[in-house]
């Protein structure tokens, strides 16, 4: 990823975890995308070792990290 207006706010070991994070961000009003190098879904395990990234706009980075930190704390309670 080389776009200076985008930021990776989290990397997960599964696409399902990344999709849950994306849902939490959307509930908080933040647009995000999930990036997994899986050949367009044709090779689902291809991204293993690199992780699955959740990407947001630079302007939303701080709020996105806060939402994801709150979600992580809830999961650990």
pTM of structure: 0.78
Dihedral sign from CA coordinates of 3, 9, 12, 18: negative
Domain extents for the chain? 6-76
Span 22-39, pLDDT tens digits: 999 999 999 999 988 765
What is the distance in angstroms between the CA of the first residue and the CA of the last residue of the chain? 34
54 pLDDT above the threshold of 90: yes
Among candidates 72, 77, 69, 67, which has minimal Cα distance to 26?
A: 67
Give how far Cα 74 sits from Cα of 45, 67, 71, Å.
28, 11, 5
Averaged pLDDT score across all residues of the chain: 82
Q: By the 8 A CB rule, do 28 and 63 touch?
A: yes
CATH number of this structure's domain 6-76:
3.30.70.1530
Q: Which two tokens stand for residue 7?
A: 């930021």
């Amino acid at each position: 990823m080389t776009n200076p207006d985008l930021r990776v706010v989290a990397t997960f070991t599964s696409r399902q975890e990344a999709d849950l994070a994306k849902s939490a961000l959307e509930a908080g009003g933040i647009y995000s995308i999930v990036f997994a190098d899986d050949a367009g879904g044709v090779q689902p395990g291809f991204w293993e070792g690199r992780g699955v990234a959740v990407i947001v706009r630079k302007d939303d980075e701080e709020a996105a990290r806060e939402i994801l930190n709150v979600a992580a704390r809830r999961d650990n309670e």
